[in-house]
Amino acid sequence: MANNSIELNVKMEVEKVQSKRKDWGLKWYVFLIPSFLGILLFMVYPVFESLRLSFYQSNGTVENYIGLANFKSVLTSNSFWNSVWNTFYIGIFQIMITIPLGFIFASLINSTKRGQNFFKVLYFLPNVTSIVAAAMIFAFVLHPEMGIVNYVLHAIGLPTPGWLSDPSTSKWAVIILAVWHWIGFVIIICLANLQAIPSEMYEAARIDGASGLQQWFFITIPNMAGTFAFLLITGWIGALQRFNEVYVLGGPNGSPARSIQTMGAFIYERGFTGFEFGIASAATYIMFILILVFTFINLKFSKMKI
């Protein structure tokens, strides 16, 4: 009997606590209202609406269901595949150059005793300026006749390419701009992670007689694998979305001769200069799927904890 009443009491206490928790629960949703309003209106709705639109022929006012015709038309369009090629070409070279170069400079900055902070600030400067302003400057820096790059190339006896005036070199002009703009970011991320490598590892190696270069190869580089994966994937996702600089340098059609039109520019051209919403939505979904695949790989690689 006494036992029962104690049990009853405990039960009542538990219920009290639980009901109090339920009470809290409701309050917590209030905290989430603004963000989830944003998610519903500006994320969930547009993603599904875009999918729907990709099955319609649409110019914004008149809509006709046409099944997979938009996808078919995008996937058989030469200018779409040309934009994919341009996007991949610029992205691959940007990443292949910037990550190793940025890592080397981060290592140098990390190992120098004087002026570490000065170099950090200096190297990050290009990344602070907007890519639009940077593209505007580089149109002159890489100008075939009056630019400083060709002046230097000529002075040391190298051939002077036409850069942005020549479809065969224009992608490299964009790559140079992209490397210049992104390298500061790569250096900052590398430095943060270099400094997180425990110094005991280096001490142990030094005691075993490993040289500086050996330490770099056998301790630093393996420890940076996660950082490289992160930079590779985020860099690649950014590269797939490239638009701003190619728009400033070549307009929506990526002149000269569509040689720097990226997927983003293709979508902009079809969607907002041609108002072919259905076609643009289909192209957008193809790009979205590409980005999703790489983001998943990124999350897998980097073991982000939830």
CB of 231 to another protein, least distance (A): 8
b/e 31-46 (16+ beta carbons within 10 angstroms → b) = eeeeeeeeeeeeeeee
Q: Which is nearer to another protein, 6 or 154 (CB)?
A: 154
3-state SS assignment for residue 63: strand
User: Parallel, antiparallel, or unpaired for β 56-58 and 63-65?
Assistant: antiparallel
CA 170 – CA 141 distance, rounded (Å): 13
Q: Provide the minimum distance between the beta carbon of 47 and another protein in the complex, in angstroms, as a whole number.
A: 6
For the bound state, the minimum distance from the C-beta of residue 22 to another protein, rounded and expressed in Å, comes to 9
SS3 57: strand
- The nearest distance, CB 12 to another protein, in angstroms, is 21
Q: Based on CB atoms, which residue is closest to another protein, 4 or 145?
A: 145
Q: How far is the CB of 96 from another protein (least distance, A)?
A: 18
Give every CB contact of residue 145 below 8 A, 6+ residues apart in sequence. none
C-beta closer to another protein: residue 68 or 108: 108
CA distance linking residue 74 with residue 264, whole number of Å: 14
Helix axes 170-194, 225-240, angle to 10 degrees: 150
Listed in sequence order, the residues at least 6 apart from 100 whose beta carbon sits closer than 8 Å to its beta carbon are none
By C-beta, is 2 or 304 nearer to another protein?
304
**Distance between CA atoms of 254 and 257, rounded to whole angstroms?**
7
Least CB distance to another protein at residue 41 (A)? 8
Name the minimum Å distance from CB 194 to another protein: 11
Measured from the CB atom, the residue of 7 and 115 that comes closer to another protein is 115
Closer of 2 and 164 to another protein (Cβ): 164
DSSP string of 227-244?
Answer: HHHHHHHHHHHHHHT--H
Nearer to another protein, 89 or 240 (CB): 240
Q: Are 189 and 227 in contact (CB under 8 A)?
A: yes
What is the chain's Cα-based Rg?
27
